[in-house]
């Protein structure tokens, strides 16, 4: 955990940030907010803090600059999300406020002249133009910072930072489509974005419509596949298991390895549906183990609380980062919605209802200036 202490040491009306002293990791940084001024910090104000921290662009020995260290950011991927999630959930509940930053595969998609942005757009018009872009692109990365007031300091806060790689799931009938924008990809590559982690280790997430559809299919035992690569794999696996089960005795087992991510659930669901005298489970090496069992034993196992393919467990795994979003909503530290308002919904009303505690960097700057002018 990193400790930040902020205090006011003077008064100035022309440069309100000059009278702020920051202590980071026990070291005084009198001009810590220099990184907000053009030409001093290699990135833009505030928006690229997490990339700067990852790349360690700010050297600790430079006087007057806030010290960021790589160790302050915890990277979360599909490989460690399940392990870290209980800790993240607890920390969200205990923190005082949160800050969120996102990276996307694109920003603006203007398919018609009416979609071009104008300096004369009001907030509702700008939103109506930008919303179609949001539905075409996807979030590739989310930075989450959790701030907690220090009990022994009126001006100090403790900060916990997480960097999540996200990737929409290809699971069962779900197979999301999204686009990339060349300029956004160039920007991400320039600042060290790991595209391999995005594709291979991104954490899945669902919106409410996808969740409802998936829950219904799992409960009904009706399973369809949209992933053509997985279909080819399953043809081979079903043939191998079918050949093995004819020769096997009750109690014998067969191990299936090299099945990645969420496909572990899909392989088990399809095999169980196709063969009534087998049972499947996942071992400590994340391999699928197929057991030959009697029909009566199969019935017992299907009703067991230890079944790793229960509807709630499968749904929980596919929901992924959606669970973090919901924890943020429940915590009242930040109000979030998984669906964008559309149609005739009034933007200002939606923002006030959904984001009552929303604060931007511009608002913070104006607040500081107003305090100095009193």
Q: How long is the chain? A: 374
Q: What is the mean pLDDT of residues 18-44?
A: 40
- pLDDT, residue 43, reads 30
Tokens of 254: 């067969």
pLDDT at residue 49 is higher than 60: no
Q: What three-state secondary structure class fits 240?
A: helix
DSSP 297-356: HHHHHHT-TT-TT-HHHHHHHHHBTHHHHHHHHHHTSS---SS---TT--HHHHHHHH-T
Distant-in-sequence contacts of 122-129, Cβ < 8 A, 24+ apart:
123/347, 123/348, 124/346, 124/347, 124/348, 127/347
Structural domains in the chain plus CATH codes: 2-205+350-373 (3.30.420), 212-318 (no CATH)
Q: How far apart are CA 308 and CA 328, in angstroms?
A: 27
Q: What three-state secondary structure class fits 269?
A: helix
Report pLDDT digits (tens) over 250-271.
999 999 988 888 889 989 988 9
Residue 230: pLDDT band with limits 50, 70, 90: confident
Higher pLDDT, 29 or 329: 329
Q: How far apart are CA 56 and CA 305, in angstroms?
A: 47
| Mode of pairing for the β-strands spanning 20-24 and 174-175 | unpaired
Cβ distance 90 to 162 under 8 Å? no
- pLDDT, residue 41, reads 28
Task: Report DSSP state, residue 203.
Answer: B
Q: How many CA atoms lie within 13 A of 9 on its CB side?
A: 14
- Whose CA is closest to 276, among 297, 255, 305? 297
Residue 354: pLDDT band with limits 50, 70, 90: low
pLDDT at residue 117 is higher than 50: yes
Burial class (CB in 10 A: 0-12, 13-18, 19+), 235: exposed
Q: Where are the beta strands (DSSP E) in 133-276?
A: 139-149, 156-165, 170-171, 174-175, 253-256
Q: What three-state secondary structure class fits 25?
A: coil
Residue 224: pLDDT band with limits 50, 70, 90: confident
Paired residues of 280 in beta bridges: 290
DSSP 51-107: HHHHHT-S-TTSTTS----GGGEEEE-TTTHHHHHHHHHHHHHH-SEEEEEEEES-S
Least confident residue range of 133-142, 193-202, 235-244, 353-362? 353-362
Q: Which region, left, alpha or beta, applies to residue 39 given φ > 0 means left and ψ of -120 to 50 means alpha?
A: left
H/E run at residue 281: strand 278-282
Least confident residue range of 31-45, 65-79, 215-229? 31-45
Render the burial of 71-104: b for 16+ CB within 10 Å, e for the rest.
ebbebbbbeebeebbeebbebbeebeebbebebb
- Rounded alpha-carbon distances, angstroms, from residue 57 to 1, 49, 60, 192: 20, 10, 10, 12
Cα dihedral 224, 225, 226, 232 in deg (nearest 10): -150
pLDDT at residue 182 is higher than 80: yes
Tokens of 98: 């949160």
Q: What is the mean pLDDT of residues 279-307?
A: 91
Residue 91: pLDDT band with limits 50, 70, 90: very high
Of 28-37, 318-327, 341-350, the range with the highest mean pLDDT is 318-327
Measured in Å, how far apart are the chain's first and last C-alpha atoms?
35
- pLDDT, residue 357, reads 57
Q: What is the mean pLDDT of residues 214-236?
A: 82
């Amino acid at each position: 955990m990193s400790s930040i202490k902020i205090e006011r040491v003077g008064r100035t009306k022309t440069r309100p940030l000059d009278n702020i002293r920051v202590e980071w990791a026990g070291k005084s940084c009198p001009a810590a907010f220099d990184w907000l001024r053009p030409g001093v910090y290699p990135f833009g104000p505030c928006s690229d803090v997490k990339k700067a921290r990852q790349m360690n662009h700010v050297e600790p020995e430079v006087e007057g600059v806030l010290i960021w260290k790589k160790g302050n950011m915890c990277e979360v991927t599909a490989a460690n999300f399940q392990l870290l999630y209980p800790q993240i959930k607890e920390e969200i509940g205990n923190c005082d406020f949160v800050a969120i930053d996102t990276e996307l595969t694109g920003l603006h998609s203007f398919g018609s002249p009416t979609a071009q942005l104008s300096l004369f757009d009001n907030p509702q018009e700008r939103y109506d133009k930008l919303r179609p872009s949001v539905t075409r692109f996807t979030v590739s990365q989310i930075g989450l910072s959790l701030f907690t007031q220090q009990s022994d300091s009126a001006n100090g806060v403790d900060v916990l930072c997480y960097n999540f790689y996200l990737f929409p799931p290809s699971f069962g009938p779900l197979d999301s489509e999204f686009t990339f924008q060349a300029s956004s990809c160039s920007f991400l590559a320039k600042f060290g974005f790991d595209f391999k982690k995005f594709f291979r280790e991104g954490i899945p997430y669902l919106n409410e419509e996808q969740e409802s559809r998936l829950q219904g299919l799992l409960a009904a035992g009706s399973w369809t596949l949209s992933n053509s690569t997985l279909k080819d794999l399953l043809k081979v696996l079903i043939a191998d298991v079918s050949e093995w089960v004819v020769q096997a005795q009750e109690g014998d087992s067969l191990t299936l390895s090299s099945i990645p991510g969420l496909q572990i659930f899909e392989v088990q669901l399809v095999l169980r549906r196709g063969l009534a005298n087998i049972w499947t489970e996942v071992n400590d090496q994340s391999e699928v183990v197929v057991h030959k069992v009697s029909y009566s034993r199969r019935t017992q196992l299907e009703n067991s609380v230890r079944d790793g393919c229960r509807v709630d467990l499968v749904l929980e795994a596919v929901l992924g980062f959606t669970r973090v979003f919901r924890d943020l909503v429940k915590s009242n530290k930040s109000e979030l919605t998984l669906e964008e308002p559309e149609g005739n919904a009034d933007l200002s009303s939606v923002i006030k209802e959904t984001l009552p505690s929303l604060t931007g960097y511009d608002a913070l700057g104006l607040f500081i200036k107003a305090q100095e002018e009193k």
